[in-house]
A and B are shown apart, each in its own frame.
Chain A
Amino acid sequence: GENVEQHPSTLSVQEGDSAVIKCTYSDSASNYFPWYKQELGKGPQLIIDIRSNVGEKKDQRIAVTLNKTAKHFSLHITETQPEDSAVYFCAASINNQGGKLIFGQGTELSVKP
């Protein structure tokens, strides 16, 4: 089955710097790759996603890139702010399996003012 590896497990940056979180997946049939942000005491919330027919997607300060050949995808956050501090999870699934996601282990991002 699918396996998703996420790195790093913790990341500390200064406010205004960029942050990059990387994930690799094992199943070449996976074609949907969402990223979730989880704040303390809350459930994960979708922040951006990408499908395998696209190499890059941007939404304001966040972007996701996908390399299907290498089976890895990355989250990029630019101009980080203290409110970006949270745990971020990548995930992968086969499109027609909807919410049956395989999650990475999570990255705890800390943005220092």
Chain B
Amino acid sequence: NAGVTQTPKFRVLKTGQSMTLLCAQDMNHEYMYWYRQDPGMGLRLIHYSVGEGTTAKGEVPDGYNVSRLKKQNFLLGLESAAPSQTSVYFCASMNRVSDSPLHFGNGTRLTVT
């Protein structure tokens, strides 16, 4: 039982390049989330999904797209990376049962030059 796995762990992009971050969970959780973490700002929600085939915007969705084609996977895409997207990205999942905790992956550190 690996929990929440994020790939890659590190990535450097040039401005304008695109990439996809992959999140996989093996806990059969219905809900999945993408957060970004920046110094002095805590974590902020980018997009989330409450089930396979559904996605919704969070607090800071601009410049990102997501897809949830399979229940266990949640992909975060950057179509045209900008330096402002330099951050550490965390994926999280939780069971829809009340009082379930949010389980986080170990993050992807992205630098956009």
Instruction: Name A residues whose Cβ lies closer than 8 Å to a Cβ of B.
Output: 1, 4, 6, 9, 34, 36, 41-46, 49, 89, 91, 95, 98-106
| Nearest opposing residue in chain B for A4, CB measure | B42
Partner of A89, one of B43, B94, B105: B43
For B, the interface residue count at a CB cutoff of 8 angstroms equals: 26
Chain A nearest CB, measured from B91 CB (Å): 8
Beyond contacts A43-B90, A43-B105, A103-B43: 17 other A-B pairs, Cβ-Cβ < 8 A, are A1-B59, A4-B42, A34-B102, A41-B106, A42-B106, A44-B43, A44-B90, A98-B50, A98-B96, A99-B31, A99-B33, A99-B102, A100-B33, A100-B45, A101-B102, A102-B59, A104-B42
**Interface flag for B4 (CB, 8 Å):** yes
What are 16 inter-chain pairs, A to B, with CB distance below 8 A? A9-B40, A34-B101, A43-B105, A43-B106, A43-B107, A44-B43, A46-B101, A46-B102, A49-B101, A98-B102, A99-B33, A99-B92, A99-B93, A100-B48, A103-B43, A105-B42
Q: Do the beta carbons of A44 and B104 come within 8 Å of each other?
A: yes
Q: Do the beta carbons of B4 and A43 come within 8 Å of each other?
A: yes
**Interface flag for B41 (CB, 8 Å):** yes
Identify which of A4, A9, A45, A99 gathers the most chain B CB atoms within 10 Å of its CB.
Answer: A99
The answer for the CA separation of A105 and B107 in the assembled complex, in Å, is: 17
Q: Mark B88-113, 1 if CB is under 8 A from A, else 0.
A: 00101110101011101111000000
